[in-house]
Chain A
Amino acid sequence: MRLLTHNMLSSNIKGVTNGFPLGIEVEKVIEKQVDFNPDFLKNMLLKIEWKALVDASRSLGYAELPEEAPESSVIDSDDFLRKLHHALLELHLEEGALVCPQTGRKFPVNKGIPNMLLHEDEV
């Protein structure tokens, strides 16, 4: 599971009002190289929740992203975009869990696939 996916998903348990961002429990992280596309990254910057991405990348052991959302002057820098690229697209949570921030319920991640299915009493 890429952090791009993490940045979209929210806990969907009935009654949970603030299910984003999901916490991360790490068992195994892997890295896969993908092509670097600066225009795509700049476009994604408008859509992602910065703090959730920073925290998630730290959970996965990558601490290079700046704490604060980047200023527009930084966005074009190659160094910054490469770090964003790595955090958003190359880090994968292969085994572990996503944790509902409100209830602590764990959604398992196996073979890189998060399982967001709910039990009957959670729908």
Chain B
Amino acid sequence: MKLKQLESLLGDLQQFSNPKVELEQYPTGPHIASRLLYTAENSFGDVSNKVVADFGCGCGTLGAAAALLGAEQVLAFDIDTESLELASENAEELELDINFVQCDISNLVWRGQIVDTVVMNPPFGTRKKGVDMDFLCVALKVASQAVYSLHKTSTRDHVRRAALRDFNASSAEVLCELQFDVPQLYKFHKKKEVNIAVDLWRFVPKRNQGKVL
């Protein structure tokens, strides 16, 4: 599938109608989502025929993109009931088969590195401090092959240090810098739309022996 085609399919997905500020529900736009998955597939072979997990799936854009690019199984996780309903509707609309689980990623307990690849657009941790790092920590425990994630460019040094020193990563690489358009979703947003610089990261977890958690 061509990048343009992927982006266009993702552009048709329903977005949150009442986003929850405490969960930092900013939709992952089709531009960013399509590039994230396209790079994962075409530069690294981390998607087709793999088990891919989408952490904090929201309306399900990244998981849908993984399924469209030929992931063998996609698991999508979110804490929020409405997000999961919306994500299931979106999957149904595109006739995609996605496994949904309702859970809080921060306390997800999992039996070892069973998925190949984790893709995620975690909360940036501006409302609940550290939640972005919680997501990364768990992702690096369950993925056997790679973790793709978006983090604010302003946190680059911190993310690299935490990943390599504390979270079981053997490598941490910024693949590119992107502009995340955050539309005026919440009342406290003063400007109509702001661009936030975000890094697209690829982390490679260390192989571990047997069970992790």
Interface residues of A (CB under 8 A from B): 1-2, 4-5, 7-12, 19-20, 32, 34, 37, 39-40, 44, 47-49, 89, 111-118, 123
Which residues of B from 86 to 104 have beta carbons under 8 Å from A? Answer: 88, 97, 99-104
> In the complex, which of the residues B72, B110, B144 contacts A9, with contact meaning CB atoms closer than 8 Å?
B110
| Contact assessment for B110 and A113 in the assembled complex, using a CB-CB cutoff below 8 Å | no
New contact pairs (11) apart from A8-B75, A12-B108, A113-B100, CB-CB < 8 Å: A1-B101, A5-B101, A8-B114, A9-B111, A20-B111, A32-B97, A37-B49, A47-B114, A114-B102, A116-B102, A117-B79
Residues in A neighbouring B114, C-beta threshold 8 A? 7-8, 47-48
Interface residues of B (CB under 8 A from A): 49, 51, 72-73, 75, 79, 84, 88, 97, 99-104, 107-115, 142, 144, 213
B191 CB, min distance to chain A CBs, angstroms: 34
> In the complex, which of the residues B49, B99, B104, B142 contacts A40, with contact meaning CB atoms closer than 8 Å?
B49
How many angstroms from the CA of A12 to the CA of B79 in the assembled complex?
14
A103 CB, min distance to chain B CBs, angstroms: 13
| Contact assessment for A19 and B49 in the assembled complex, using a CB-CB cutoff below 8 Å | no
| Contact assessment for B111 and A123 in the assembled complex, using a CB-CB cutoff below 8 Å | no
> In the complex, which of the residues B49, B100, B110 contacts A39, with contact meaning CB atoms closer than 8 Å?
B49
Residues in A neighbouring B213, C-beta threshold 8 A? 10
Residues in A neighbouring B72, C-beta threshold 8 A? 37, 40
How many angstroms from the CA of A4 to the CA of B142 in the assembled complex?
14
How many angstroms from the CA of A11 to the CA of B103 in the assembled complex?
11
| Contact assessment for B102 and A10 in the assembled complex, using a CB-CB cutoff below 8 Å | no
Residues in A neighbouring B113, C-beta threshold 8 A? 47
Given A37-B72, A40-B49: A112 touches B110 (CB 8 Å cut-off): no
| Contact assessment for B100 and A116 in the assembled complex, using a CB-CB cutoff below 8 Å | no
